[in-house]
Amino acid sequence: MDVLSDAVAAMRTGRPHSSRTVRFAPWGFRFAPGKGAGFHVVLQGSAWLLPPEDAPPVRLGPGDVVLLAHGTGHGLADRPDTPLVDAAPAPDGSWPTPPDRGPVGPDETLLLCGAYQLNRSRAHPLLTGLPPYVHFPARVGAHPRLRAAVDLLGAELAEPQPGSDALVPALLDTLLVYLLRTWWLTERADRSTGWSAALADPAVAGALRALHADPARAWTVEELGALGGLSRAAFARRFTALVGRAPLAYLTWWRMTAAGRLLRTGDLPLRAVAERAGYASEFAFAKAFKRECGIAPGQYRKGAEGPPAARDGAAAPVLRLTSGAKAE
C-alpha cells in the first residue's frame, strides 16, 4: 500500500456516516469537538463556516467542500450572526435528516455532511499535519475526481436504491482519500518542508513506499538511500529533515502503529503480529512495542492506552489557513 492509504487505514475505525439535508433560513448549528473527522458540502445555496478560536467566518458557495480533519468544534449557519443551537446527533453519531420539502428555494441550503471515526492514539503525521479546517472552493474544472465522489455520494443519499447501504460507506471512504490527496498533492502551497515536501521528493517518497510495502524487511539506511540514488548520509539527512524522524526510527514507529491496528482489529496470535512487524520472537516484539507505545501488546489489545508522551500525533496543530493559503 502507498503511504496515504496506510495512514488512512491505520486511523479509520467504525463505520462512517453522512446525511443530505435541506436547511431553511434562519438556521445555525454548533458542532461540538470530537475525536473523528468531518466534512460539509454545499450542494445548493450558501452557508457560513464559523471556525473556532475567533477565526473569521468562511463563506461557502455551491460546490464548496470543507474538511475538518481533527474533529474541531465549529459552527455552520446561513449567516455569520445567526444564533447557533447545538447539533443533536443520532445515537450512531449521524445527523438526523428532516423530511424532504421539495425543490430548494432561494432562502434554503442543501447540505451534504458526514463524519469519520478515527483512532488518534497512533495518528499518522500525514493527517496530523493538516490545519484545523481545509476549504476547497468550487472552481470550474478543478479536482474532477473529488467532485465526482461528491456527486456519487449525494446521488445515493438523495435516491437510495438496492445496494446503497454498501455503497455509501465505500463512497465516504473514497471521498476522504480524495480530500486528503487533493490537499497534500495539489492544494498545499508550501512544498519546501514537511510531509508535503516528503511526498514530492522522489528519493524520500520512494523510500516511504518501500517501507510501507514491506515493513517486516530488515531495511538498512544504505538500501533505502540507494532506491533514490543517494548516499547513506545524504539520504538520512534529507529523510530526517522532511519526515521528522530518522529512516529506521520511522520504520520502527510505523511497524508498531501497524501492529497496534492488528492487535485492536483482529485476533491474530501475538507471534503472527510479531512476524508481520519484522520480529523473530514475541519477546523482542513485546519489548519494542512497550518501548515505543508505553504499554504491553496484551494490554493494548484489551483497549488500554499508553501514556500521553507515547502517543505521537495525538495533538493537532493549530493553524489557520484555507486551501491555497500560506501559514503565518
Fold of 198-310: Arc Repressor Mutant, subunit A (1.10.10)
CATH of segment(s) 3-187: 2.60.120.280
DSSP-derived secondary structure for 131-151? -S-EEE---TTS-HHHHHHHH
Q: How far apart are CA 251 and CA 39, in angstroms?
A: 31
Q: Are 5 and 177 in contact (CB under 8 A)?
A: yes
Fold matches, 3-187 and 198-310: no
Q: Are 285 and 279 in contact (CB under 8 A)?
A: yes
Q: What is the pLDDT along the chain (328 residues), one digit of tens a residue?
A: 588 888 888 777 777 888 888 888 899 999 988 888 889 999 999 999 999 777 899 999 999 999 998 888 999 999 999 999 988 766 555 555 555 555 555 678 999 998 888 877 777 888 888 888 999 998 877 889 999 999 999 899 888 899 988 898 899 889 999 998 888 776 664 566 778 788 889 999 999 999 999 999 999 999 999 999 999 999 999 999 999 999 999 999 999 998 988 888 878 899 999 999 999 999 999 999 999 888 899 898 887 676 655 554 433 332 222 333 333 2
Segments making up each domain of the chain, as ranges: 3-187, 198-310
Q: How many CB atoms lie within 10 A of CB 298?
A: 12
- What pTM was computed for the model? 0.78
**3-state DSSP of 315-328:** CCCCCCCCCCCCCC
Closest by CA to 17, choosing from 113, 89, 114, 110, is 114
Helices and strands, number each (H, E), in the chain: 12, 10
Q: How far apart are CA 263 and CA 298, in angstroms?
A: 8
Q: How far apart are CA 249 and CA 86, in angstroms?
A: 43
